[in-house]
Amino acid sequence: MLINNFQELQDADFLNGVTVLVDKPLEWTSFDVVNKIRFTLKKKLGVKKIKVGHAGTLDPLATGLLIIAIGKDTKLIDKYQNLDKEYTGSMILGASTKSFDSEFEPEEFYPVNHIDKVLLEKVRNEFIGLIEQIPPKYSAVKIKGQAAYKLARKGIDFKIKKRQVEIYGFEFLEINIPEIIFKVKCQKGTYIRSLINDFGKKLNSGAYLSSLRRVNIGEFNIKSAFELEELIKKLSEN
């Protein structure tokens, strides 16, 4: 059962199955959100166990829509995960980082004087449709059972296989070089950080993701999401 407002939240049968949409705050992991909600519900309901899961990880430096399934609704997680995603974000041209985003300071710098709107449009079109990409080494992709980012932080060398994903739409909302505001609609499993890193290379320059916000998962929209702080406050009420 999808909960859309605080009144429904107060009357919800969490153990029987509830789905809520949450606006994940900056610097929280998706797992942090799940843990916070699980802890709050256990205390509210007076139970030792309750199933809580999310459908589609967001990086700590990304904000936006997170589908949280509770109780019997956790059986729907696979269905939710298969839905298409839509993001808005910003990129910085002329530099790259080892995480492909702003977690680390730029370590390489490139010229941008040759980049104009004609080149941007030409390269943008090359990234619409089926493309191949390699997930960032600083990601949760599993390498022999371990998260890639844990190996990367230890300085262990490894390779990640290419994967095919589909980009349904890639639009520029605002161009103010070196910054570009964009929107992307894509298949599940797409790494926007890799998309932006590869986009920079195709420009004969560089680029990294400076902000990201997930606004849609299938038909679910960020406008229907609860702010996490308000959600926790309401769940804590008797």
**From 11, 23, 32, 59, the catalytic residue:** 59
> Which residues touch 108 (CB under 8 Å, ≥6 apart)?
95, 96, 206
Using an 8 Å Cβ cutoff, are 203 and 96 in contact?
Answer: no
Instruction: Report residue 123 as tokens.
Output: 């390269």
Residue type present at position 151: L
Annotated catalytic residue 59: yes
Q: In degrees, to the nearest 5, what angle opens at C-alpha 57 toward C-alphas 15 and 175?
A: 135
Instruction: Report residue 25 as tokens.
Output: 């705050």
User: What single-letter DSSP state applies at residue 48?
Assistant: S
107, exposed or middle or buried, with CB in 10 Å at 0-12, 13-18, 19+?
A: exposed
Instruction: Report residue 135 as tokens.
Output: 């997930």
Instruction: Report residue 17 as tokens.
Output: 């199955």
How many angstroms separate the CA atoms of 229 and 216, rounded?
Answer: 21
Using an 8 Å Cβ cutoff, are 133 and 143 in contact?
Answer: no
Using an 8 Å Cβ cutoff, are 19 and 36 in contact?
Answer: no
Give the residue numbers marked as catalytic.
59
